[in-house]
Amino acid sequence: MPLYDAAGETGPAWTVSTTHPPWLSITSTEQHPRTPPLALVDRRWTSTVSGSIAMHGHVARADVAGGDGVVASIRVAGAEVWRKQLAFDDTAGEDFELTSEVEVGTTLDFIVAPGSNEAYDRTTFTAKISR
């Protein structure tokens, strides 16, 4: 994201614009994708270790005023290992707990994709990675 908005609508955020739409942004705990054109929001971690890692966290809708939901997913080295479709009003969301073998440089991507539109797609997506 090219811009840091210290006074963002829901707190400090990295974004593509300080005026909305577009709504593409990422904060310390939330992600908001965009469409059209389609733009997924990806929080990426790159491994500095080799061996087994564990990742756990939670995903849930943060803005339930409308919209048509989102799809959250996790990819390890580009391969999808977890996916959850969230309805527009799913504030309970879902916990995840996964393990994976990684090498130095392996990427983990925590992605939020919009449904058919970007309306109200702000989504909480937290993760903790440990050895």
| Residue 63 CB coordination number (10 Å) | 20
| C-alpha–C-alpha distance, residues 110 and 107, integer Å | 10
CATH number of 38-130: 2.60.120.40
The string of pLDDT tens digits covering residues 89-127 is 999 999 999 999 999 999 999 999 998 888 899 999 999
The string of pLDDT tens digits covering residues 36-74 is 788 889 999 999 999 999 999 999 999 999 999 999 999
The pTM assigned to this predicted structure is 0.90
Q: pLDDT: is 47 or 4 the higher one? A: 47
Q: Kind and range of the H or E element at 60? A: strand 51-61
Tokens 């929001």: give the residue: 41
- What does the angle CA 67 – CA 88 – CA 97 come to, to the nearest 5 degrees? 135
Domain boundaries, given as residue ranges, for the chain: 38-130
